[in-house]
Chain A
């Protein structure tokens, strides 16, 4: 099985029904994508497949069609994506465990709607659970990132 992840090609030998999440984490070592629930209820495992947000815990390897982007592919500490930079500016994270998924969901939202309303944000982000309750800063950061992306 071949996968393209963050622009790199990988040959994967895991069983075809293995969820993408565990291929990323255990087989490849891309641990930025997190395990939270395994049933697509918390969004911690969100990655992009061809730009679409996907819960990787519930996507079997043999059903992956398209190029995968994970949090590591969005940006790095040395080369931050604008959304990650905004997440830093707003000091969004607390425990931080859900934030990879939050950032990936926000990035998918901003790639389809350049100026999301509060209602757009409500809808796009309701699948991402945060037990620390960083939601007010997530909302503020998305609005801010939207205006920064327009200026960029």
Chain B
């Protein structure tokens, strides 16, 4: 999920989007601990993140585990301060609750770039906790899980440890200051020990310190070191539980067939034949299509194929060409959304350039819609009976699942239980509620019987919320081997309007994701203007790993390469000369050394580089490519990233490589197209992704010069497309201005 809040957000207002009113008093009052609601007598919950009973210590890691390793790292934050080994704790996602709201999700939406750590900027960021708390969204997205949890989950561990020490002190009649902890035990000066399990019931009545001291980094035993993933055994043996794998007694299996003209309705349907098919129990109209309920998923799938539906036409343009025209036509005053950067006097420089003594460059770029294509298609299990609803779902937004369930079932929140399972990929797709709403509605139709709803891959591909198609135009002037002016304009549908609109929240003002990583890059260019235009929403769009940065880095960094090569400048030297942010400078310098940038490659090989700062993380990448008789081969990739504080180096490297490969799939072959108002792609044969044989060796350097800690699920992605395009130009002289690249280049 991207940034929810725009820079124009009304800071300090008493009413905000979604109709939430708040005041300072209730802000200071913490959300209640949701674990207290359902404790067994032998269970103790010292904070919303720590649950202790006779079976051991459980840490609540209340963010979506969709592959990014977040459960392990979040638990490590608590374990470090609680003084328990990570291998000795159980880790669960826990309940859906406002207590687990994401306080960091709004911080990037402030009116300052992430490179600005002045007092004013920091005050604005701190203030964003207030609306975040009142929105109360337990959301995984925007690479915020770690920055959000970094202090609060360590404090939760530290507070629980202090309570356990005080309980032991009382028991032994010792001073707390004389007691130590190690491996889940409190230790007395004479060597006696009590386990946390033994102490937990005694600690219940002890008031937790509000602001416990935290260990200095130098004392860390777990954090800063690569950990074994908590989920690794389950995921290597087929025993990890995804919502797709949930089985309940007497469960029935459902699927849906939705109007391929996305969001348009259905005039009528005929299921006479389908109803006679094997295993079919029920076929019903459901929103913009039909649902089939059967005795297994496959019988549901094949019956759905046999239902004849008369669809309403699409409300958006019916071809990719028309959509592209609409994006292009949006480069107009009426569609202007933001101009966060306007330094110097760009217009004046362009007027002066007509004299012809300086170099003027112009270009247009475009990228297509993209699907998320998670490995696990959308699905959920729901069971409505006896005035209670249970729902098992892989979701990035569990608190919204509760809201949707309340609206559909009219049940009270206390009767709705969300079981958030592991997710077979998320990338932003599982922040959506479409499939969840369907599962609850079908459970209501089938009241008393548990229902598993599974989308076919085809429905999943054709009913995504896509990364917007986008375009950019630039003009640049160079003088004496330096950039004197850049005018960059970008146009795309608004992810924020589309995505937040679907959950009933509307936010006034510009959508900073349209210009994300275009306006806020740490380049000192004397005349520099970035304008974003908001194209109409055509296909529904959503947060797709790295959101606006996924297209804007391609625009910005291809443009800089064009400028560099036209002016005979070295792309790295040119960037180093104008970067005005130390951590960014260091990642470029590091990747330059790591890749031996200055050492020429043999004939038939070339390299390209790109940089992007997104979600607070500067990332520089170099890719080496090689021409072979079978096509272009990716030979080696180097990356340098700066997350501020690296909590789990192996996991950070894995995330950077993961983002690079996800980005390469998009850059090389990713494209969703529209014909007759429908998405043309339907499965992995026509929307493929990188395969093992196409992926080269990669080296990732992790730096820690950034003043704040940042998340790394997304920032590795944006630079790879422009780095590859720039390498192709270096090798062949062909400039890639549109994605995907396989339209003009043959890859191995």
Contacts and interface: CB of A to CB of B under 8 A. Distances in A.
A130 B375 contact: yes
A129 to B, nearest CB: 6
Contact of B658 (A41, A91, A103, A132): A132
A122 B374 CA distance: 22
A110 interface: no
B176 interface: no
A88 B238 contact: no
Contact of B231 (A21, A35, A96, A121): A96
A126 interface: yes
B235 A41 contact: no
Interface string B645-664: 00000100010011111100
Contacts of B665: 131
B239 to A, nearest CB: 6
B417 to A, nearest CB: 21
Interface of B: 66-69, 228-229, 231-240, 242, 244-245, 247, 253, 278-279, 296-299, 301, 373-377, 422-427, 454, 456-457, 650, 654, 657-662, 665, 683-685, 688-693, 695, 697-698
Contact of B232 (A72, A88, A125, A139): A88
Interface string A11-43: 000110011011001110101111111110110
A96 B244 CA distance: 13
Given A94-B658, A95-B423, A96-B231, A32 B238 contact: yes
A36 B247 CA distance: 18
Interface residues of A, number: 60
Contacts of A44: 375
Interface in A127-146: 128-139
24 contacts: A31-B244, A34-B424, A35-B377, A36-B684, A39-B685, A75-B237, A76-B237, A84-B237, A87-B232, A93-B67, A93-B235, A94-B69, A94-B654, A95-B374, A95-B376, A96-B234, A96-B235, A96-B424, A125-B691, A131-B665, A133-B690, A133-B695, A134-B658, A137-B654
Interface of A: 14-15, 18-19, 21-22, 25-27, 29, 31-39, 41-42, 44, 70-72, 75-77, 80, 84, 87-88, 91-100, 103, 121-123, 125-126, 128-139
Nearest to A123: B693
Given A94-B658, A139-B692, A31 B238 contact: yes
B236 A136 contact: no
A100 B426 CA distance: 18
Contacts of B376: 34, 36, 95, 97
Contacts of A19: 298
A38 B299 CA distance: 13
A98 B242 CA distance: 12
A131 B650 contact: no
A133 B695 CA distance: 9
Given A29-B247, A31-B247, A121-B692, A71 B684 contact: no
Contacts of A125: 691-693
Nearest to A95: B67
Nearest to A21: B298
Contacts of A132: 67, 375, 425, 658, 661-662
A95 B229 contact: no
A95 B296 contact: no
A39 B685 CA distance: 9
Contact of B425 (A21, A25, A97, A128): A97
Contact of B657 (A88, A129, A133): A133
B234 A136 contact: no
